Amino acid sequence: MSVSTAASAQTICAPLPVLGRDVTVPLVTGGEVTYAALDYAASAPALQRVWDDVAAYAPYYGSVHRGAGYLSQLSTDLFENARRTVAEFLDCRADDQLIFTRSTTDSLNLLAAALPAGCQVFVFETEHHASLLPWQDAEVTYLDAPRTPRQAVQTLERALAARDPYAPALVCVTGASNVTGELWPVRELAAAAHAHGARIVLDAAQLAPHHPVSVQDLDVDWIAFSGHKLYAPFGSGVLAGRADWLVAAEPYLAGGGASRKVSRRADGGVDVEWHESAARHEAGSPNVIGAYSIASACKALTEAGFDTLVARERYLIEKVRQGLAGVPEVRILSLFGDDAPRVGVLSFVVDGWNSSHFAAALSAEYGIGVRDGLFCAHPLVRTLLGSDPGTQGECGAPEAAPGEKSLNAIRVSFGAGTPDEHVERFVTAVRELVTDGAKWNYRTEDGRCVPAV
């Protein structure tokens, strides 16, 4: 979609109101400017609607599943209604379980703890660390980065064809890359997994905030995502999917709420009967406000309409891409090619600049917040960069190993709450920094690039 043909998408949908949209920040060059939050891929700002819903509920907060009082009963109903709302948002199957967790990382570690004995796990090296690392206790096969969606499917099919057909198997794949924003062929990967007797879990942390996600349409066995990327303000997440492995596993945490019956034995020990519902893996007092905030965000996005949200985001993506294309020194990182469909996440490097230095200048001189480094996806970023991408700047990369100070990138990300002005200011700032250089001096402090005082 070009900027000209997408103009109608801009007028159909204004940015959804988010917290912090009017916050101003100081500039090192003097004055203040409205902060341009362009780091949605790390944590998206909370929707104003979500914050208002949570604030309206807060006076009625009560213990969940544990009290006979009115507020406890109200909170329990709200918590379980939130579970149903999120399950509907994900189009879960009737017999799926939906467990509230702390984050995508927590969700995938929970699933890793529930793997049956002898399970083989297949994961691409391109994954975020949240989906790359939890499988250390299983037999893991790490797959090389594919360069096309078709190659991704073929790579997985070859690996699965060579596995032990009698052992349980799990494939873990992202829906949208947190580095390049590119969409992965989830439905085709799920079909390949099932054809070879494997199951598949979808890391939807970057996909769910931008596109509708249907467990049934994609035919995935589990899905995991985080509330803080879905415009919810609290530390909460979701794991939803097939119940059998979850019910067969020991509780993720042992404690109240997960246990249905506890009794002393004659020998002095304790017998425990665990729940078989989602409560089995939700020990302790649940984060009812976090669950409610996710459900509120799901309702808000559904009511806004994903068709409209997606159309406007494509307009913003094209605006950024066209703007960066006019700066020859900028190279956008990609696995699948420049024309690959993506969500509002782009990473790039600038010739002659260290990325941490560039990101610091965007913040200090223009009031623009982006991310720099390796984005908790070190193998992928190193694959995309290949080698030193340019001249070493005066500030180093916070996540780089010794000798790799310039092996880092800049990520700009945006979504339903991003105004046009923020991406326009970003493109202008990139052009000015490349053409004129930084207006301020910078130094490294505690691994970060900061303005020199």
Q: Active-site residue numbers?
A: 376
Strands (E), 158-256: 169-174, 199-203, 222-226, 237-241
Plot region of 172 (φ>0 → left; ψ -120 to 50 → alpha; else → beta): beta
Measured between its terminal Cα atoms, the distance across the chain in Å is 44
Q: What are the DSSP E strand ranges found in 242-355?
A: 259-264, 270-274, 330-332, 345-350
Query: Which tokens hold the place of 378?
Result: 């070190």
Give the residue from 85, 95, 101 showing the smallest Cα distance to 282.
101
DSSP annotation of 266 reads: T
Q: Answer for the pair 204, 175: CB distance below 8 angstroms, yes or no.
A: yes
Q: Which are the contacts of 366, defined by CB distance < 8 A and separation ≥ 6?
A: 27, 33, 36, 425, 426, 429
Q: What DSSP assignment string belongs to 3-49? A: TTTTHHHHHH-PPPPBTTTT-EEE-TTSSEEE-EE-BTTT-PPPBHH
Provide the residue count of the chain.
453
114, 130, 138, 375 from 133: Cα distances, Å: 15, 6, 11, 14
Partnered with residue 97 across adjacent β-strands are: 241
